[in-house]
Structure 1
């Protein structure tokens, strides 16, 4: 429960700090919703926003740094490394879409970072910064046990929907495909093309359009959730491909979960 509450507080703190970093609250944008495939050949700054110069609160032991977000060799690379940054002794990477998305298929091919106390995350989020309730859909690999991915949803800042699912061979040993299909009355999670969890309770399915995030960060304090932090040298979370396929659109590549029959 402590980890759940800390995570909720973390998102709220992150929202407040993002407002401060930008100097003003941006005018709420309309839902984008257009299907796309991102192969990470080059960074489009009009599409992606790179977190830089702040952290998400006392639980986070690293400062977001644009230097640790790279589009290189057809992959997104998010780094974590030792080095004084702001009031933290480590730096880490996060990227988010500027546009918002809702119903459809979200999928990413990821090789996660290694190390206890680290979190390699693929998720959607919206919250108070955008004058919206805190809604979120998570697929997170905790470095303390990279043989599993944690699934979760927040609806109006209420979480507690965690489920752990196995990742054969280890999420940090090779690329694996992670996906979720978000519909008004159903949310399905997939790992390597196989459905591993289905949510049909409307009270546990977000409804607000959200931004898409990738992040790699660490903690000294959330030990019961993420494990006792131990720095074993620089590490990287790699994303080989990311795609959003709007509900009703044709699938965009052969391996896409959107190609499966509903």
Structure 2
């Protein structure tokens, strides 16, 4: 958090639509961006076919003292499918005192009655430590997510690593992984004190032979089965969205009657084998 006087600014950066479809366990991503934008981002890494050859963009730490338009792409003007009851809006992405907020509120946009916020990196990342310090709001029928993803629109198989707070119950977060479009790796784990009470640290460490999830520095899940480990470099996403159809997973949606937010204080990627980048980093203590 910075010490500057309180400021609020909306991120006026939109972009080209991309789509995702829902899978059996909830919203799943078939992402990405139009051919025009892909051409403009031609410097992105193309992930090789073999896991040991995964390439990655450089390590970074973003504490959101400003909005890095070279790093982040803002979703604006579309939704991911009929299951989603909100339209992505750049107006729901804002900075305040070194915290990035993604909002959800009642606002008629196109064919949806609600607007919501999402960002994703323009770069792709491979093996290493992925960390986010964030705080969610509460409300049945919503999903506050920090995850990595790549898929067919980027001419890659669908690989994904998730933290998803289903805000109907902020005492837990769901961790999950999708490998070549196959999931069934989800697990609900506790968030001591609740995801909405204070900022919590969520991290996963992705290596060639393992995938490990941590909440506030505590190991909460591990996958070592080679068939369940991602093999393609991925983009980093944050999103807050709602659904009035996926009630079995997200709970029955009800108009919250106010603007809800997912607040992100910091995000970092530390490539495997590189030194940790800030004292609180999981990469300083976990290899």
- State if a TM-score over 0.5 links the two structures: yes
Question: 1:218 maps to which residue?
Answer: 242
Equivalent in the alignment of 1:104: 128
* 1:195 alignment partner in structure 2: 219
User: Is 1:115–2:139 an aligned residue pair?
Assistant: yes
- Aligned with 1:239 (options 244, 250, 264): 264
Taking the aligned partners of 1:28 and 1:228, their CA distance within structure 2 comes to 42
Q: Give the C-alpha shift of residue 5 in structure 1.
A: 2.2
Structure 1 pair 76/108, CA: closer, same or farther in 2 (3 Å)? Answer: same
SS in 1 for 2:280: coil
Match of 2:273 in 1: 248
Q: Report the counterpart of residue 156 of structure 1 in structure 2.
A: 180
* Whole-angstrom CA distance in 2 between matches of 1:226 and 1:49: 26
Partner of 1:29: 44
- Give the Cα separation in 2 of the matches to 1:32 and 1:207: 12
Supply the distance in 2 between the matched residues of 1:7 and 1:209 (Cα, whole angstroms).
Answer: 22
Question: 1:132 aligned to 2:156?
Answer: yes
Q: Which runs of 5+ in 1 are unaligned?
A: none
Relative to 1, partners in 2 of residues 1:144 and 1:155: Cα closer, same or farther, differing over 3 Å?
Answer: same
Alpha-carbon RMSD: 1.6
TM-score, scaled to structure 2: 0.85
CA separation of 1:121 and 1:261: change in aligned 2, threshold 3 A? closer
Normalised by the size of structure 1, how large is the TM-score? 0.93
| Conserved? CA contact 1:112–1:120, under 8 Å | yes
- Name the SS of the counterpart of 1:81 in structure 2: strand
Q: From the two aligned structures, give the one with the greater helix fraction.
A: 1
Q: How many residues align?
A: 254
Query: Structure 1 residues 65 and 4, CA, compared in 2 at 3 Å: closer, same or farther?
Result: same
Q: Is the 8 A contact 2:148 2:236 kept in 1?
A: yes
